């Protein structure tokens, strides 16, 4: 492991569940209708865990703070995290609870999710003492609306982390009830890097244009990143804006792509790269993660990330050269 990266220990607090993924659906699921999937897998799920595995794959030591049941799904989650190099010493195993489960029904363009919260909703502030941040550089929080017993303590957790000298990032993920209560802005006030998708940005700000939503969010958070899927991403940091196009890939499953994106972006952020480079890292990690089912199966390490970006640059240069040649031949009447 790179010595510089080993100093950037990441703490991740969030939900933990398995994903039951059916892929290759020709049409989205419809009530009272049976459709067929081309494949099915049981994989590690949750935005928090997918991010943790992604940043660990990029070379960062990670401590995961969460809760599972003592059932087989819980053991599956713990094994998967450990295999990815993520520390599970701070994951509580509670025999009175069932581990969370998400059923993912995935087409090539999007997916439908059904989640049973179980232990996810029962993690509390008392399970996250300030001492957990000792020796860490950065805290990442996700899934605000799913963590019912922890939600009100998010600002306090962020404050504890900042007092311990950590930088912070936050990806609220979708609100299943579509209410987007104003209390979430108290979390933004303690956040250094905010991740949202395009729809979430506009729902949070009550704006109809992405540019307007980005500016509003940028007034509350130093760095705001808006994920746009195949269209790439845009960001604002201390008034500076940047954008980066997505990478064309043959998508198998979009599960966790946004969390892999966040891992790639934060890799660039923690290494002090410029904003556009951070976005390119995020887009590449997100694109690569869609090439296999599940959020963690195809997350890149640093070498694979560099090779992918190099290949994309070569392909882009070749296409530009072909376009220039075609234009020149047209001008010369050939």
Token readout for 42 is 């049981």
The residues pairing with 188 across neighbouring beta strands, listed in sequence order, are none
Report how far Cα 85 is from the mean position of its chain's Cα atoms: 18
For residues 136 and 10, what is the distance between their CA atoms, to the nearest angstrom?
Answer: 6
**pLDDT at residue 197 in the model:** 96
**pLDDT at residue 2 in the model:** 53
**Which residue reads 């989205």 in tokens?**
28
- Give the helix/strand (H/E) hosting 50: helix 47-57
**pLDDT at residue 23 in the model:** 85
Q: Where in the chain are the domains? A: 3-329
10-residue mean pLDDT profile of the chain (334 residues): values are 67 95 86 91 93 98 97 97 96 97 84 91 95 96 95 97 98 90 95 97 94 96 96 95 94 90 98 97 96 92 96 72 46 48
For residues 226 and 68, what is the distance between their CA atoms, to the nearest angstrom?
Answer: 30
**pLDDT at residue 327 in the model:** 44
Closest C-alpha to 3, from 67, 54, 59: 59
Token readout for 319 is 């296409």
Fold exhibited by the domain 3-329: 3.40.1190
- Give the helix/strand (H/E) hosting 90: strand 86-94
**Rg value, the chain, Cα:** 20
Token readout for 275 is 């904003």
Give Cβ neighbours of residue 320 (< 8 Å, ≥ 6 apart).
Answer: none
Residue 243 burial by Cβ neighbours in a 10 Å radius (0-12, 13-18, 19+): middle
Q: Do the strands 167-171 and 138-142 form a parallel or antiparallel pair, or are they unpaired?
A: parallel
Closest C-alpha to 174, from 133, 144, 217: 144
Closest C-alpha to 97, from 115, 71, 72: 71
- DSSP conformational letter for 98: P
Q: Do the strands 193-197 and 223-227 form a parallel or antiparallel pair, or are they unpaired?
A: parallel
pTM above 0.85, yes or no: yes
**pLDDT at residue 326 in the model:** 47
Token readout for 185 is 């802005």
**pLDDT at residue 328 in the model:** 46
For residues 101 and 116, what is the distance between their CA atoms, to the nearest angstrom?
Answer: 5
């Amino acid at each position: 492991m790179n010595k510089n990266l080993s100093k950037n220990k990441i703490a991740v607090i969030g939900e933990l569940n398995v994903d039951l993924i059916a892929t290759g659906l020709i049409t989205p699921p419809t009530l009272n209708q049976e459709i067929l999937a081309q494949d099915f897998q049981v994989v590690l799920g949750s935005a928090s865990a997918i991010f943790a595995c992604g940043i660990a794959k990029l070379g960062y030591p990670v401590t995961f703070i969460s809760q599972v049941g003592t059932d087989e799904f819980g053991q599956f989650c713990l094994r998967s995290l450990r295999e990815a190099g993520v520390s599970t010493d701070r994951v509580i195993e509670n025999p009175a609870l069932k581990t969370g489960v998400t059923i993912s029904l995935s087409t090539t363009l999007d997916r439908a999710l059904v989640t049973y919260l179980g232990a996810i909703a029962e993690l509390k502030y008392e399970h996250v003492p300030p001492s957990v941040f000792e020796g860490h550089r950065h805290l990442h929080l996700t899934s605000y609306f799913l963590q019912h017993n922890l939600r009100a303590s998010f600002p306090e957790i962020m404050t504890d982390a900042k007092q311990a000298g950590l930088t912070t990032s936050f990806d609220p993920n979708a609100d299943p009830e579509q209410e987007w209560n104003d209390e979430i802005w108290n979390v933004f006030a303690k956040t250094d890097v905010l991740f949202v998708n395009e729809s979430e940005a506009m729902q949070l700000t009550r704006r109809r244009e992405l540019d307007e939503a980005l500016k509003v969010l940028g007034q509350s958070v130093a760095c705001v990143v808006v994920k746009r899927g195949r269209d790439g991403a845009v960001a604002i940091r201390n008034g500076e804006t940047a954008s980066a196009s997505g990478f064309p890939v043959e998508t198998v499953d979009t599960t966790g792509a946004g969390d892999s994106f966040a891992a790639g972006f934060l890799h660039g952020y923690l290494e002090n790269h410029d904003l556009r480079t951070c976005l390119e890292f995020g887009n590449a990690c997100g694109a690569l993660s869609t090439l296999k089912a599940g959020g963690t199966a195809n997350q890149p390490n640093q070498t694979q990330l560099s090779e992918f970006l190099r290949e994309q640059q070569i392909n882009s240069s070749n296409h530009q050269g072909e376009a220039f040649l075609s234009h020149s031949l047209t001008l010369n009447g050939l």
